[in-house]
Amino acid sequence: MVRARSIATADAELLASAVALRWSRPDLTAAVAEHVAGTWVADNRTWVAATGWLVHGRATVGDGREHASDALTELLSRDPALFDDPAADRLRIEVATLAAVQREPAVARQLVEPLGHDRPAEVQADALAVLARCAFEDRPAVVGEAIRRATDAWTAVRGARRRSRSPR
């Protein structure tokens, strides 16, 4: 029996595979995310999720500022409220990271501070990492605490991953 799958399901799985490659092959993360974003142009949530990972990959292997700028321009032409959707969390994090690197900690904080406790643990950990980077720039007295919070968040994410993979 052949199981039929929708294209949407296949592309969601493809994007999930791209995300899994974020640490080892960010270039492939970007390429696959670009494919998904291009395939699902009409679906704003899928487009913005894939575009966030595209910016991540491009920024990791080079200068992601142009890709981030293009993504924000496109997002504003689609629907500015989309930026507040959880599907845009990765794009927020990547733009915030670029802002922090460009010595714009106030902009970076404004982008990631809304990513609170209602978001997935990995999103929270990435947001805390951006805030730690910001502390280096303008709050040296709290750098140690900011790094500790980000490290603790990532330790919790890794622990949850190990528990979910272990046989029961």
pLDDT higher for 168 or 85?
A: 85
Q: Where are the domains of the chain?
A: 8-165
Task: State the pLDDT at residue 85.
Answer: 96
Least confident of 10-19, 55-64, 88-97, 104-113: 10-19
pLDDT at 72 over 60: yes
Q: How confident is the model at residue 12 (pLDDT cuts 50, 70, 90)?
A: confident
CATH number of 8-165: 1.25.40
pLDDT at 1 over 50: no
Return the percent helix, strand and coil in the chain, to nearest 5. 80, 0, 20
Structure tokens at 86: 């959880």
Structure tokens at 111: 């982008």
Query: CA angle 30-35-36, nearest 5°?
Result: 100
Task: State the pLDDT at residue 161.
Answer: 75
